[in-house]
Amino acid sequence: MSSTSHLLTLAQNILHNASLLDQYHTTNHLPSPSFEIDGPAQITIPPSEADVVAAHSALLTETRQLNRLVAGPVSGLVSTNLEDVVSLHAISRFRIAQSFPLGQEASFESISRRTGLNRVDLERVLRHAMTSHIFCEPRIGFVAHTAASRVLAENELVRDFVGVMCEEKFKGSACVQAFGADAVRRGPKTVDALVRWNGAKDPSESGFSLGHGTNNGLYAELQAHPGRGKRWANAMSQFASRIPIQPVADAYDWVCFPRRFKPAPFAKEPAPDACSFSQALLGDSTVVDVGGGHGPVSIGLAKLFPRLRFIVQDLPEAIGSRPSLPDDVADRVDFMAYDFLVEQPVRGKSVYFFRAVFHNWPDASCVRILRNQVPALRPGATVIVNETLLHEPGSLPPEQERQRR
C-alpha cells in the first residue's frame, strides 16, 4: 500500500470513529471534548458502550499514527516528546540502530551482545520505542528496522541531532532548579544508570538515585524525607482510586478461601452456610494488605465482603497521611506501619495480599520481601500477588501498549 492510500485510509477511519464518538456525546447530552476552560476534564465511556469504547481507543491510535506518518521519520525523530526521550536516549547511547544491517532481522540476544546492554532492559527500551514506530518486532524475539530506525542507522547528521537532544537539551530541560555543573549532575539519569549498572540488582542502582545524588533507592529516599513520602503516598492513592475494584473482587473467591482460593470468576457471594467447613478451618478471615498505601483496595473489598477484616500495611509516611475511613468499613479496616524489607510482624492471618508492589523492585528485593512473610505464615495461609503484567507485543491496541511500556 502506498503512503498516499495509507494516509487516506487513516483519515477516513478517524472521521468514522470521531463521528461515532460525537454521536455518543450528542445522544447522551454530554459535553464534547474541547480545549476551552469549560471542556470535560476526562472522557469516560462505560464498558457497556463497546462500540464507542472501541472507537475512542481507535481514535487515540489512529491520530497518533497519522501524526507520525505526515511528519515523516526525520521530523518524528528530531521533534519527539520528552516522554519518548528515555528510550530514544538509550537507542542513541548504545548505538542500537547501527548494531545490525538494514533489511535483516536480529534477535534481542544478538543485539544485546553487540551493544553491551543487557537483554531485559534492551527489550524494555525497544518495545517502548516500537510503539512510536522506531524499530518493529516482526516475530517474537526478533527486531527489524522501520523508516525511523533506518534514518538513525544511515544518517549521521540525524544521529548527532538526536544525541544532542538526549544528552544536552533533555538533561538541561529537566533541571529547572539546578544551574551550572549541578544541572548536569542532576539531569535525567536513566540511561546513565543503564551504563553504570547494566542489569542492576539493587534499588539504589537506578536513574532516580543518580539524578537525586543519593545512595538510597526510591523508597529509602522517601522515608528520609517525610514530606516527599507523604506526597508520593497521596499520588499513589489517587492513582489506585482510578482502578476499578471489581476485577480484583472477581479474580478470587474472597468468601471461601483458602480451599477455593484460586483465580476464577465468582459473581455472587454464596449462602452463609456454603463455606462453613472451610471457614471453620480458617478461623480468622483477615487479609493483610502489604504495601497497601491508604487502603483503597482493602476498603473496596471490605464493602463487597462484609465477613472479611483487613490490616493495611505501609511505610509510616503513607499510614500517617491516610484520610478517614468510610463509616461502613471503619470497624473492619485497620492500619499499621510496616516496612516489608523486614520480617512480617503480623502472624497467623488468612491471606497476605500484595497489589502493585513488585513491579517497583528488582528481582532480588522481591525475593527478600516474600521471604520476610514466611515466618508469619501458618498452614493453609495464602499469599496473593496481584500485579500488572505486560501483554505479548502487538496484542493490544498500539496506544494502550505504549502507555503500558
Assigned CATH for 231-386: 3.40.50.150
Beta bridge partners of 62: none
Assigned CATH for 80-215: 1.10.10.10
216 within 8 A of 208, measured Cβ to Cβ: no
CA 55 from centre of chain? 24
Q: Is the pLDDT of residue 240 over 80?
A: no
Per-residue pLDDT tens over the stretch 316-359: 888 888 888 999 999 999 999 999 999 999 999 989 999 989 98
Enumerate the domain spans of the chain.
1-75, 80-215, 231-386
Q: pLDDT band at residue 150, thresholds of 50, 70 and 90?
A: confident
Distances in Å between the alpha carbon of 237 and those of 83, 173, 295, 321, 393? 23, 29, 8, 10, 29
Q: Is the pLDDT of residue 38 over 70?
A: no
What's the confidence (pLDDT) of residue 333? 95
- Give the position of cell 523508516: 147
318 within 8 A of 229, measured Cβ to Cβ: yes
What whole-number distance in Å separates Cα of residue 165 and Cα of residue 91? 13
Q: What percentage of residues in the chain have a pLDDT greater than 90?
A: 36
What's the confidence (pLDDT) of residue 251? 84
What's the confidence (pLDDT) of residue 263? 44
Q: pLDDT band at residue 182, thresholds of 50, 70 and 90?
A: very low
Q: pLDDT band at residue 286, thresholds of 50, 70 and 90?
A: very high
Beta-sheet strand order (sheet of 142-144): 106-107, 142-144, 136-139
365 within 8 A of 203, measured Cβ to Cβ: yes
The set of catalytic residues is: 359
Residue with the larger pLDDT of the pair 118 and 395: 118
What's the confidence (pLDDT) of residue 80? 54
What whole-number distance in Å separates Cα of residue 150 and Cα of residue 97? 7
What's the confidence (pLDDT) of residue 24? 94
What whole-number distance in Å separates Cα of residue 60 and Cα of residue 73? 20
What whole-number distance in Å separates Cα of residue 92 and Cα of residue 87? 9
The three three-digit cell numbers of residue 370, written as one number:
516474600
What's the confidence (pLDDT) of residue 275? 46
- Give the position of cell 544551574: 179
CA angle at 403 for the pair 159 and 16, rounded to the nearest 5°: 100
317 within 8 A of 233, measured Cβ to Cβ: yes
What's the confidence (pLDDT) of residue 78? 63
As a whole number of Å, the CA-based R_g of the chain is 25
CA angle at 365 for the pair 174 and 91, rounded to the nearest 5°: 40
Per-residue pLDDT tens over the stretch 103-144: 999 999 999 999 999 998 899 899 989 988 889 999 999 999
Beta-sheet strand order (sheet of 309-314): 333-337, 309-314, 286-290, 351-355, 382-386
Beta strands 351-355 and 286-290 are: parallel
Of the candidates 291, 293, 309, the residue with the CA atom closest to the CA atom of residue 301: 309
What whole-number distance in Å separates Cα of residue 132 and Cα of residue 125? 12
